[in-house]
Amino acid sequence: MNHLRLEKKGLRGLAIAESFRETDLKSKLAGVVMRRDFVIDGFVFGSATVEGDDATDVIISMYEKLDRDDISFILVSGLIISMYNIVDMKKLWKNTNMPIIGVTYEESDGIEDAIRHHFPNSCESKIKQYKNLGTRTKVSLHTKHDIYLRVEGCDMKEAKKLLDAFTLQGAIPEPLRVAQILAKAELDLKS
């Protein structure tokens, strides 16, 4: 298991968020490299197929496009993006060799019924991908807001400490907030 190097002064992470409309065939993904002191140190864009299976490969490609060796972790806003395009955390971790933290903000009973509804002829593969994500863990940030995490390559205690350091207010860590703004701006530019 890799560990987050929380003591590292120049700690940088890549945060990925998306934006799309239900009528779109592709969603817009934005990646922001942010330092621990909240300085933005780079960005990258990608697109994933709505209802597809390419989200993981797109994120790996975005990471590779940056061509940097100073990124220490990857945050992903939601691991089920673009209408059930499921991010494979284990594959992402193996291909980037760094801790992966998937962040969501709402409590949920799961999405198996929704997958069956949207993919009546091919739901088993999507359900297997979803189950492979494992369960989410509820974490209370120093801001008193709860978020839900899945982690790969680090432990939950490290992930909480990292997200506390990167969250100024509310529930959304600053790198993910900026990535969401960029993804929406990219979507609006293309429409």
Q: What is the CATH number of the domain that holds 77?
A: 3.30.2170.10
Residue 4 covered by a domain = no
Q: How many domains does the chain have?
A: 1
Residue 93 covered by a domain = yes
Section 63-79 average pLDDT: 95
Residue 102 covered by a domain = yes
Residue 73 covered by a domain = yes
What's the predicted TM-score (pTM) here?
0.93
Residue 5 covered by a domain = no
Please give the Cα distance from 30 to 28 (Å, whole number).
7
Residue 1 covered by a domain = no
Residue 6 covered by a domain = no
pLDDT of residue 117: 85
pLDDT digits (tens, 9 = 90+) for 163-191: 999 999 999 999 999 999 999 998 888 65
| Domain span at 155 | 12-185
Residue 96 CB-half CA count within 13 A: 34
Whether residue 29 has pLDDT greater than 80: yes
Section 21-43 average pLDDT: 94
DSSP per residue, 38-66? S-EEEEEEEEEETTSS-HHHHHHHHHHHH
Whether residue 141 has pLDDT greater than 90: yes
Residue 191 covered by a domain = no
Whether residue 1 has pLDDT greater than 70: no
Nearest to 62 by CA among 42, 78, 36, 82: 42
pLDDT of residue 182: 96
pLDDT of residue 74: 97
Provide the pLDDT confidence category of residue 86 given band limits of 50, 70 and 90: very high
